[in-house]
Structures are given as structure tokens and as C-alpha cells.
Amino acid sequence: MYPNHVKPIESETILVPVDLTPLSLPTTLLAARMAQYENKRIRLLHLLPNTLTFSANRKNTLRNERYAQLRELAHKVVLKMGVCIETEMREGSIYHQIAYAALEQNDSFMVMGTHGLQGAQMLWGSKALKVVRSADRPFFIADAHTSIPASLQRIVYPVDHRPESKQALAWLTKLGKQHKARIHLVSRAGNTEFENAIRLNTGYLEHHLNQAGVLVKNHLVFQPIPFAEGILIIAQKEQCQLLVAITQDTALSPWLSAQTALEQQVMFNKLSIPTLMIHAFDGNIITDSTTGLTSPV
């Protein structure tokens, strides 16, 4: 395809981490729809809390209860959607085990539910976004009110001045061709500081998508409308079925950066549109000393 792009991974499985709250059902149903589109199997993963201080009896009871819940969830979705689901339980941090589980089985992508921003996450960033940034492959994100789309023919992608904006091209091309979708590129108008870079990124994406036979429509968000709000106005007007966003580590400040704030507004959008979050990487990795597996950070 093209260099320095986040390319779709060819695999037969989708990883779906669930916490077994009521959010787990709509999340798994979205994953099942994606599995139908892609002809893939689902790996349903539940992470147990750290049980080092638990007695053997309490640990066994917890595992049996959670496993029964996991199997019941899988059974409901299989009956409704007719997809193949495998179940698995692990113990450990969501910020490490989800990424390592995907690496071990080379899952194509992940589908995860989010409870939204709560308390201090408003300042420090959401847990869901941190999980997305811990893994080397994209996440489809849903919330409790997300409707399961019958198709993905209208997709919205915000474009900004960063070079990373171009990294979504391979995924946009795949989705556009696979679903015969129109890609709606949304950019900020009147941003004189970054106007040239935004125009170049938009032109680059439009050119290569058109070459691949994917339909494109450009939109501008004008001041004083905030960019995130403008994205959602266009998504609603165009009856968008999927939002796509590039997320990037922002280590310059521990506080919530403007870029992270925008990513969270898209991920936790008030329209409850499912979102594909694609993490741009700089090549740094971490290694799990117990498994030897590596994961970008």
C-alpha cells in the first residue's frame, strides 16, 4: 500500500475485551456485526482482578462465577447473530493484558465498550483511550447506547495538520472498498497557522482514495464552531454510521492536551456513533518480561 500507514492486519479473529457489566452485550453485538462483515471469529476476553491476596476458595469461586457470565454472554450473541465465539479469561492490568492477548493471537482488531468519562478522567484522560494507546492495532469503540449499524456506507474522518492524519489511509481505503462507503473528510476552515498542512493532508487522502475507487466528500468546520462539535454536526447531517480518528501519544504534559481532548470527544460522542480509533506509533516498544512479547507504547 503506502509507507508509514497503519495497515489492516490479515487475521481470522477479532479480540473483544469485556467487563461483564450491561455494556458488554452491545459491545459484543457490535463485534458480531463486524465479524459478519469480515467473516471472522470473535475472541471474548475477560480480565479478572488481581487475586494474589485471595484465598484459593475465593479465587476459584470468582473464576467460576465470571466464566459462567462470560459463557452466557457468548451464548446470547451466538443465538442472535450466528457468529463463532471463543471465550478466555486472564488476570492482570487492562493496559497490558489486552495488548498482549491481541499480539499472541495476531487479532485483526479489537472491539471495546466504554462507560464514558468519569471523575478525574476529565483531566487525566480516559481509561479507554489509554488502552487504545497501549495496543498496536485499532479499536472499534461502542457505548451503552450504540446502535448496531446494518451497513457502514457513510464514514466520517476528521483531518488536521499533523502528518499522522495520513496514517488512516489504508484503513479508510479498506472500509471504503469493502462497504462501498463514502468517506466524509472533515477539516477546520480558517486555521491560518496550519492551513497549508491541512490542505495538503486532505488532498493526499482524497487523491489516493479516489485512485482506489472510493467516494469522497469534503466538509469544512468554520469558526466559531468548535472542531469536535462541527464533526458531530456533519456526522449527524450525513447520517454517519462510523467515525474514524487517529490517536497519538501526548507525553509533553501530564494534563489533558487539546489533541487528547478532541480524541475523547470523538470517542465519547454524544450521538453514540461507533468509533474506529487508530493509534499512530513512533516505533518505541515495551517488552513483557514474562512472555517476551513486545507492544508499541
Q: What is the pTM of this model?
A: 0.85
Residue with cell 491476596: 53
Exposed/middle/buried for residue 223 (C-beta within 10 Å: 0-12, 13-18, 19+): exposed
Residue with cell 457490535: 30
63: its cell numbers: 473464576
- pLDDT tens across 222-263, in order? 989 999 999 999 999 999 999 999 987 654 444 445 666 788
What is the model's pLDDT at position 261?
73
- pLDDT tens across 163-217, in order? 889 999 999 999 999 999 999 999 999 867 788 999 999 999 999 999 999 999 9
Instruction: Kindly indicate the confidence band of residue 4, based on its pLDDT and cuts at 50, 70 and 90.
Output: low
Exposed/middle/buried for residue 189 (C-beta within 10 Å: 0-12, 13-18, 19+): middle
List domains and CATH numbers for the chain: 13-146 (3.40.50.620), 154-280 (3.40.50.620)
Enumerate the H helices of the chain as residue ranges.
24-38, 56-81, 94-105, 121-124, 127-134, 169-178, 195-211, 227-237, 258-267
- pLDDT tens across 74-126, in order? 999 999 999 999 999 998 888 889 989 999 999 999 999 988 765 434 333 46
153: its cell numbers: 456506507
